[in-house]
Each structure stands twice: as C-alpha cells, then as structure tokens.
C-alpha cells in the first residue's frame, strides 16, 4: 500500500470520509492542514497537473460562491496568487504519493491510481454543506 500525504481542511466532512476510505484500503496517511501549510507557487502548482485552471478551485469557497472570483476567467499566475493568499480557494484534498501529486478525490481515479477497497456510494467532492448559506467552520 501507499504512503499518502493528504492535505485537508480540518473539520471538512468529505475529507474525513476520504481519509477513512484510504485507511480502509491499507494506505498510510500523513495528514496536513491545507490552510496552514506554507505554500509557494513551486509547491502548490504540481498538484494541478494539466487540469483546466477552473478545476483547481474549490467551488464551495465563499469567494467563489459569492461570485467575487470566477475560476473560469483567471489565468494560471492569478489563480496561484489568489490561492496562496486564500487557501480556502484550493480544491481539496491535495494528495501526494511518491512524488505524484493530485487534487480532488475522484474515487474511480484514486482507485486506479493507488487502489481503494471500498467504493463510495456518495459524492465525496461536493461539500455537503454547499446548500447552506453560512460557510463551513475553519479550524486552523
């Protein structure tokens, strides 16, 4: 099984479920707080690979939901600068295994990449609180 470096927002319901799935598959988790990690362009950019810039963003982030930031209209350098200043904008989780970095938790893709023993019966990427008007609590 793999050693998975897992960057999460503490208290995130889906991140907790994602970690449970990874641990159940026998993976060793090294968990970090995405919000307090001292990111740089060089450390953050590899997680996004060749994904479209809009897919780098957390669609449930307050500044995205309010329309203040439109992920479809920003360029790469602007997106990274915004995320360095406001890590809530970063899509979660960030995953690293043996130097291979990924963003988000597409269960079939994670299964193909490192293996899962159980398949989730629910969407583990969309915040279950996204219908609420108040943002999720932040626990640094």
Distance CA 83, CA 40 (A): 10
SS3 call for 108: helix
CA distances from 81 to 17, 18, 41, 92, 96 (A): 29, 27, 8, 17, 21
How many Cα atoms are found within 13 Å in the side-chain-facing hemisphere of 4?
A: 28
Q: Which of 12, 101, 127, 136 is catalytic?
A: 12
Is residue 12 among the annotated active site residues? Answer: yes
Question: Which residues are known catalytic residues?
Answer: 12
């Amino acid at each position: 099984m793999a050693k998975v470096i897992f960057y999460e927002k503490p208290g995130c319901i889906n991140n907790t479920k994602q970690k449970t799935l990874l641990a159940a598959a026998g993976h060793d988790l090294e968990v970090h707080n995405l919000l307090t990690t001292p990111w740089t362009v060089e450390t953050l950019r590899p997680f996004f690979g060749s994904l479209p810039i809009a897919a780098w963003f957390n669609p449930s982030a307050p500044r995205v939901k309010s329309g203040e930031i439109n992920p479809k209209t920003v360029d790469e350098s602007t997106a990274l600068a915004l995320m360095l200043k406001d890590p809530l904008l970063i899509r979660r989780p960030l995953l690293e295994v043996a130097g291979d970095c990924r963003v988000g938790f597409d269960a079939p893709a994670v299964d193909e990449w490192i293996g899962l023993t159980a398949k989730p019966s629910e969407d583990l990427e969309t915040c279950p609180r996204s219908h609420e008007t108040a943002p999720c609590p932040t626990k640094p």
